Structure formats: structure tokens, C-alpha cells
Amino acid sequence: MSELHRVPRATLLRVFWRCLFLQASWNRRGMQNLGFAYAIDPALRALYPDRAERLEALRRHLGFFNCHPYMASAIVGGAIHHEERVAVGLEPRDGPLHYKSTLQGPLAALGDAFFWTALRPFAGALAAAGALLVGWQAIVVALVLYNAVHLTLRVGLFRAGYAGGDAVVVNIGGLNLQGLADRLRTAGAALCGVAAAAVVLTAVRVAGPAGAVLAGVSAVIGYLALARGAWLMPLTYAAVIAAVSAAAVVLHLGGAG
Amino acid sequence: MGVRDSRSVVYTTRVLAYLALAIVAGLAAVERKGFLQAMLSRPVALAPITGLALGDLQAGLLLAAPLELLWLGAVNLGASLPAHEALATVAITGGAVLSARALGTAVTADVALLSIVVCAPLALVGRSADQRVERWNDRLAERAEAELAAGHPRTAARTNLRGLALPFAVAAGLAPLGAEVAARMVPAVIRALPSAAAPLRLGFLAFAALACASGARALRVRSAPGWFFAAFAGALALGLVTRGVHS
């Protein structure tokens, strides 16, 4: 056994950059396998000067892989941590694969629950409600906030995975993302309510009480219909047809009166 | 000669507009899944970007909030494919801007609503296209394995980037097409039914209100209905009181 050979910092930066392309060739057979192999390839080149060893290492990482794209940074970093040990014989060759297969499922579930169903919808609702109340500046603020969290976590997870390998689980557990997700979803729902009120107030300004009733009914009936399982697209077309027809009748009666 | 020149300018402007739509839609399709995923392809960012690319930021801002809230639940969970909100957003915004240009006006709520009605189904067309893209990517995975077996690790790894091409091409082709259909249909409807403009404007507000409900439904937490309706009622009451005080 020889001394651990560390992947150079510049190579780690390259790997992180390539992590951003993790889903470029998402496919049904290996899902993010091509993306993972593409991301880790510079590190493998640095660790395995021997061509045959490098080919074998890359083949390892061309197997099935699927995780949340942000959380996968931790696994890419951790896989390099394990490959450094494999390269000097401190760990068996299937060590990185065990690491990947153990973490990908739980991190995918956590990433989907936090980023895709909580933080991003919250940021979207914040941007939308802000755009209705304040203007374009709110969109910029919401995007900056979202990406500050997203990129900080993505970089931090990659570094934690590389530094600690399996210990990254402890780092992620300490973030309490699940509890935070519920609070973000609740705040997002409230922001949607504020946005609906802003739309109704615009309707009051544009068309008086009749317009306000039309918009308000659309929000309430729409929510109840969606809660009962109505499909979004058919419901949208039905709502538009009903609203335009009702508005035509109201405006006609108003004109006749 | 002057007429020919002005036609040439109109033609060039139109071609440039479709080119801009194709590039914006293609890049958004790539950002949406294949690279970065920093919310730049979400409707709330993409509608203003599309408007800006066509020289009409206000049109993008008019559409940004309702389209974002309508498709707030369009998320890529595991192997499930959501509606292609980015493709539809570019087509809707592009269609609205080009329709308004044809009518010689700014983008108003009636034009925006009709553009939504015409182009929104592209979100479902885009989802079908995504399924085909995934099948195409299966072939890329096979190709990467073959390159590795042939002893070409670098080529095998770089095969990943080829997966960006097809989503770009699909969106770059479909978004301008959708915008063109809208740019032909919307002005025709508005010219044929001028009395429909006012009801359509109210219809846009009803659509925006429904989009808010759709956004709230996308946030799956037990307390969401209570918070949605409480915030709705509270903000509405506050707005009406403030309005009363000011008037």
C-alpha cells in the first residue's frame, strides 16, 4: 500500500463544473450514468495514469445511477474520495459502487422533497407574487435567493462528499431539510393566496365588482376542482371559456342597462 | 423601391424574431434538465427573457406570474416527465408579442389570453418529445459503452454532451412554430370579433386567478389549503381597505 494520491484542486473544479451536466443524456437504461461518468472522468484521469486501469474505473461509473441533480454533487465528491483509496489499494475496487448505490436513493428522495417540491415552488411563488405586487425586481430577488441556496448547497455537498466520503450523511442530516421543506411549502401556499388577491384587486380596478367576483370565483372553484383531481389543462380551458362567456354576458347587460 | 425596402425590413425583423425565439427556447430546454437548472427556464424568468429578446419586456412581465403559477407543479421527479412549461412559455410570449405587432398595439390581456389558448398545448407536445429524447439517449448510452469497449474513455465520457443537442433542436423548432400559429390566429380573431376584447381581458384575469390556485395545489402540505385561503382573504381585505382609504 502506498501514500494517498490526492486529485489536484483544478481537477476537482473541473469535476464540479461537469456535475452541472449530470442529466445531459438522461436515459431509461442507466438514467444519469453517462452524466456521472462524464463528471468523474477528469478525476479518474488524474488517479489512474495506466490506461487499462482508467478504462476499468470509468466502466465502474458507467453503471446505473440516479439521484437528484443537486444532491448528486455529494456522491460525485464522495466517489472521488473512495477512488483515491482504490487507486492506492486501501479499498476494494467495488468500494465506490457500494457508496453510490447506498446513497443515491435516500439523497434522491431528500433532494426531490426539498428542492423540487418545496424550495423551487416557493421561489417561483415568491417571484410571481412579487412580480404582481412590486414588478420585475421581485423576480430578480427571488432568482438570486434561490440560486444562492442552490449553489451554496451544491458546492458545499461536493466538498463535504470529497472530504468525508460516507461522513457526508451526517452533514446532510444536520441541515434538517425535511422540516424546512414543510415550512417553505406552507409559505409558498400563502404567497399563492396573496397573488390571487392581487389578481382580484386588479380585476376590481379594471372591471369593478363584477370582474372581482369573476376572478375570485375562478381562484376558489379552481382550487376546489384541482383538489378533487381535475386535470389542469382541461380545467384551464373550461375556466377560460366560462369566464369569457360570463364576462361577455355581464358586459352586454351592463351596456344594455 | 421604398415599399420593397420596407417589406424587406419587415421580413428581416420577422426572421430575426423567430431566430431569437429558437435560440431562447433551445437554451431554456437545455437549462431545464441537461445543464445547471437554476430556474432560468422557469416561466417567471423565461417569459421576461423571451420578451426582452423580442424587444418587449412588458409582454414577458404580463405573462410571467400567471404562467409560473399555472405550472408551479411541473417538476421532474425521478423518471416522471412533467409538462414542458419552458417550450410553451417561449411560444406563448413570442406569439403574444408577434400578434400585438401585427395588430399595431402593445401586448394587452386579450392578446395574451388568446396566445395562451393557442400555445399552451405545446407543453404537452413537449412532454411527448421528451419521451422520445429519452429513447434517443438510450442509444447514446449504448454508443458510450461501445466507445469504452473500443478503448476510447475520453470519447465515451464526452458522449454525455451529445444529449444536449436534441432537446435544444426540438424546442428551437417547436417554439417559433407555435408563435407563428398564434401570430396568424390571434390577430385574425381580434379583428373578426372586436367586441370580444373586453371579455377576453376579464378572461385573462380569471385565468391568472386559476393559475394562483394551481400554484397553491402544487405545494403539497396538509396546511396548504388553509394558508392559501387565509392569505387570499387577508390580502384581499387589506387591499380593499387600503384602496378605500386612498379613494
A220 touches B171 (CB < 8 A): no
By C-alpha distance, which of A161, A167, A175 is closest to A111?
A: A175
Least-confidence region, from A211-215, A233-237, B78-82, B216-220: B78-82
Beta partners for residue A27, in sequence order: A31
Angle B32-B33-B36 from CA coordinates, rounded to 5°: 75
Q: At CB < 8 A and 24+ separation, what contacts does B154-162 make?
A: B154/A41, B156/A37, B156/A58, B156/A62, B157/A37, B157/A38, B157/A41, B157/A58, B158/A38, B159/A25, B159/A34, B159/A38, B160/A21, B160/A24, B160/A25, B160/A34, B160/A35, B160/A37, B160/A38, B161/A21, B161/A24, B161/A25, B161/A38, B162/A25
CA distance A20 to A162: 16
* Residue B20 grid coordinates: 431569437
Which regions of chain A are under pLDDT 70? Answer: 1-2, 255-257
Per DSSP, the residues of B150-217 read TT-HHHHHHHHHHTTHHHHHHHHHHHHHHHHHHHHHHHHHHHH-GGGHHHHHHHHHHHHHHHHHHHHH
**With contacts defined as CB-CB under 8 Å, which chain B residues touch A245?**
199
How far does B96 lie from chain A, in Å, by closest CA? 17
Cβ within 8 Å of B, A 111-140: 112, 116-118, 120-125, 127-129, 131-132, 135-136, 139
What is the pLDDT, as a whole number, of residue A150?
97
B226 touches A185 (CB < 8 A): no
A195–B151: do the CB atoms touch at under 8 Å? no
What is the pLDDT, as a whole number, of residue B181?
98
A145 near B CB under 8 A: no
B39–A120: do the CB atoms touch at under 8 Å? yes
* Amino acid in the structure at residue B78: G
Residue range A85-124, pLDDT digits in tens: 999 999 999 999 999 999 999 999 999 999 999 999 999 9
CA distance A202 to A211: 9
Closest CA in chain B for residue A248: B199
By C-alpha distance, which of A73, A38, A46 is closest to B144?
A: A38
Place of cell 411563488: A125
Closest CA in chain B for residue A64: B141
Q: Which of A59, A136, A193 lies closest to B227 in CB terms? A: A193
What is the pLDDT, as a whole number, of residue A77?
98
**With contacts defined as CB-CB under 8 Å, which chain A residues touch B75?**
112, 116-117, 120-121
Q: Which of A34, A51, A187 lies closest to B141 in CB terms? A: A34
A139–B48: do the CB atoms touch at under 8 Å? yes
Q: Which of B42, B120, B140 lies closest to A25 in CB terms? A: B140
CA distance B221 to A19: 31
Place of cell 421543506: A181
Cβ neighbors of A250 (< 8 A, separation 6 or more) are A210, A214
Q: Which of B137, B158, B236 lies closest to A38 in CB terms? A: B158
Phi-psi region of B39 (alpha: psi -120 to 50; beta: other; left: phi over 0): left
B22 touches B176 (CB < 8 A): yes
Give chain A's mean pLDDT.
Answer: 95
Among B111, B119, B210, B236, the residue to mutate for chain A (most A Cβ within 10 A): B210
What is the pLDDT, as a whole number, of residue B8?
86
B214 touches A222 (CB < 8 A): yes
How far does A19 lie from chain B, in Å, by closest CA? 9
The secondary structure of residue A167, as a DSSP letter, is G
What is the pLDDT, as a whole number, of residue A1?
52
Chain center to CA of A17: 17
By C-alpha distance, which of B151, B175, B8, B164 is closest to B86?
A: B175
A251–B199: do the CB atoms touch at under 8 Å? yes
A142–B44: do the CB atoms touch at under 8 Å? yes
CA distance B69 to B44: 8
For the segment B128-151, the average pLDDT, to the nearest whole number, is 97
* Domain residue spans of chain B: 2-220
* Amino acid in the structure at residue A211: G
**Residue A65: what are its φ and ψ, rounded to 5°?**
-150, 135
Residue range B195-215, pLDDT digits in tens: 999 999 999 999 999 999 999
Q: Which of A34, A189, A235 lies closest to B140 in CB terms? A: A34
What is the pLDDT, as a whole number, of residue A257?
44
For the segment B152-168, the average pLDDT, to the nearest whole number, is 98
Assign B245 a pLDDT band (cuts: 50, 70, 90). low
pTM of full prediction above 0.90: yes
For the segment B212-229, the average pLDDT, to the nearest whole number, is 96
What SS3 state is found at B73? coil
What is the pLDDT, as a whole number, of residue A256?
55
For the segment B221-247, the average pLDDT, to the nearest whole number, is 91
A193–B216: do the CB atoms touch at under 8 Å? yes
How many CA atoms does the CB half-sphere of B115 hold within 13 Å?
33
Cα distances (angstroms) measured from residue A128 to each of A184, B44, B143, B233: 15, 7, 43, 18
Helix ranges restricted to H, chain A: 9-19, 33-47, 51-60, 72-87, 95-111, 120-133, 136-164, 168-173, 177-227, 232-256
Phi-psi region of A67 (alpha: psi -120 to 50; beta: other; left: phi over 0): beta
* Residue B39 grid coordinates: 430556474
Chain center to CA of A46: 30
CA distance A74 to A253: 63
For the segment B94-119, the average pLDDT, to the nearest whole number, is 98
Assign B5 a pLDDT band (cuts: 50, 70, 90). confident
Beta partners for residue B16, in sequence order: none
* Residue B10 grid coordinates: 419587415
